[in-house]
């Protein structure tokens, strides 16, 4: 396995990580990234296969669990109930309960609400001057939709965004002590806020996702209060982070490429946006037994990084993968993960994108980038600092 070195906070890498992925992929299905001290799956076939391989999972083997520093404890107390971080049987139970409430019918019914919200946000934009679409359009849509779904007041959206941004800082390469403390504080405050809502909904249920999560049962079991709180936080954090970046990256790409998204072409354009510049570039797994894969032997407890951003640019699957081509045949990409941890919010994210983006491009048909957008130092996420346009 060839070894490579590149800091994930290096400014050139933050702006364009794809050349580094190409270098690693040229060396084979697996490459060793020294800065993370991890073997990385970089081809589409390796990433896709390992996402589905049950010999790997998200939970650290219990005998290898590290001691959690006291200042991080509140954050990991919430994470302990996250289906994203769990394996069967607990993952199976949690995901089953969530899917009973988070149904495709319930999601599809949100289409008209998302459209009305997009129209309202555009109505509220200034008629002249620069507009930052990241804060004026991309951020409000997913957080307001999740707030409404959960039955949380819409005016809480800015606070929910702040908590979410602080918590996901724990997954960023630039994380430091101050970010860890901020994440722990946000986890505590977010949990306390939601606990009150859970108790209210237990006493007087409504027609919102939180009430349906409370009511959902599987095999006679229901979600505990802690599981409900963590599930709500996960839906917001994952939904907000991924959809905001996908929308921002997508608008940037469409404007740079001179491509207009319409109701008619929305589905294939969104799939190409997700492939071309995804919001999450790395996802890690632990080996649960000795595994021989792609010329490397993993021992129990070894980690592997699944490079979603690299897999989506694999020339073995997509011709001229560095080109943005919404007319290309749709091949399943790995932007939403795969296997049993496939993103539970993927249908909602797709609905938000195919609904909101055509409205934006129709209403602001003459918009142009005010300057070249810069990517923020967020790795392993990949998203913009701002997206300034003129009408």
Would you state the pLDDT for residue 102?
84
Q: Residue 217 has what pLDDT?
A: 80
How far apart CA 45 and CA 47 sit, in angstroms, is 6
What value does the mean pLDDT of the chain take? Answer: 95
The Cα 381–Cα 391 span in angstroms is 29
Domain count, the chain: 1
**Does this model's pTM top 0.85?**
yes
- Least confident segment among 49-63, 153-167, 207-221, 237-251: 207-221
User: Measured between alpha carbons, how far is 156 from 69 in angstroms, rounded to an integer?
Assistant: 31
Whole-number pLDDT of residue 221: 83
**Among 56, 37, 36, 61, CA closest to 46:** 56
**Rounded to an integer, what distance in angstroms lies between the CA atom of residue 373 and that of residue 383?**
10
Q: What is the pLDDT of residues 213-271, one digit of tens each?
A: 999 886 778 899 999 999 999 988 887 788 999 999 999 999 999 999 999 999 999 99
Nearest-angstrom CA–CA distance, 251 and 361: 9
How big, in percent rounded to 5, are the helix, strand and coil portions of the chain? Answer: 55, 10, 35
Retrieve residue 20's tokens: 């580094």
Q: How far apart are CA 163 and CA 158, in angstroms?
A: 9
Q: Where are the alpha helices (DSSP H) in 124-224?
A: 133, 140-150, 157-168, 177-203, 209-215
Q: What is the pLDDT of residues 293-320, one digit of tens each?
A: 999 999 999 999 999 999 999 999 999 9
In whole angstroms, what is the distance from residue 232 CA to residue 223 CA? 12
- Residue 41 bridge partners (DSSP): 30, 306
pLDDT of amino acid 240: 79
Give the CATH number of the domain where residue 104 resides.
1.10.630.10
DSSP 78-145: HHTT-GGG--TTHHHHHHHHHHHHS-HHHHHTTHHHHHHHHHHHHHTS-SSSEEEHIIIIITHHHHHH
**Range with the lowest mean pLDDT among 108-122, 128-142, 181-195, 228-242?**
228-242
Domain enclosing residue 361, as ranges:
3-390
Three-state SS letters, 239-274: HHHHHHHHHHHHHHHHHHHCCCCCCCCHHHHHHHHH
């Amino acid at each position: 396995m060839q070894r490579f070195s590149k800091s994930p906070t290096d400014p050139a890498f933050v702006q364009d990580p794809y050349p580094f992925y190409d270098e690693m992929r040229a060396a084979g299905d697996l490459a060793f990234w020294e800065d993370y001290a991890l073997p990385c799956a970089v081809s589409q076939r390796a990433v896709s296969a390992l996402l589905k391989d049950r010999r790997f999972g998200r939970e650290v083997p219990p005998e290898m669990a590290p001691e959690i520093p006291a200042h991080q404890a509140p954050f990991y107390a919430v994470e302990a109930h996250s289906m994203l971080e769990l394996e069967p049987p607990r993952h199976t139970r949690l995901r089953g309960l969530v899917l009973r409430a988070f149904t495709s019918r319930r999601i599809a019914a949100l289409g008209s609400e998302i459209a009305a919200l997009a129209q309202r946000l555009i109505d509220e934009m200034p008629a002249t001057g620069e507009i930052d679409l990241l804060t004026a359009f991309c951020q409000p849509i997913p957080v307001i939709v999740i707030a409404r779904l959960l039955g949380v007041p819409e005016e809480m959206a800015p606070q929910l965004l702040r908590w979410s941004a602080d918590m996901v800082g724990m997954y960023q390469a630039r994380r430091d002590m101050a970010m860890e403390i901020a994440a722990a504080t946000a986890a505590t405050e977010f949990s306390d806020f939601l606990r009150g809502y859970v108790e209210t909904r237990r006493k007087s249920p409504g027609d919102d996702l939180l009430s349906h999560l409370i009511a959902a049962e599987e095999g006679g079991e229901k979600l505990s209060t802690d599981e409900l709180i963590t599930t709500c936080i996960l839906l917001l954090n994952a939904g907000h982070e991924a959809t905001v970046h996908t929308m921002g990256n997508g608008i940037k790409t469409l404007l740079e490429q001179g491509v207009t998204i319409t109701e008619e072409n929305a589905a294939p354009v969104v799939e190409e946006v997700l492939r071309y510049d995804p919001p999450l570039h790395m996802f890690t797994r632990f080996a649960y037994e000795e595994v021989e894969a792609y010329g490397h032997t993993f021992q129990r407890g070894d980690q592997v990084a699944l490079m979603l951003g690299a897999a989506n640019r694999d020339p073995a699957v997509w011709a001229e993968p560095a080109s943005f081509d919404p007319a290309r045949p749709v091949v399943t990409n790995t932007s939403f993960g795969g296997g049993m941890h496939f993103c539970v919010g993927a249908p909602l994210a797709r609905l938000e994108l195919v609904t909101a983006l055509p409205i934006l491009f129709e209403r602001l048909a003459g918009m142009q980038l005010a300057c070249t957008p810069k990517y923020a130092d967020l790795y392993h996420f990949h998203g913009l600092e701002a997206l300034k346009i003129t009408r």
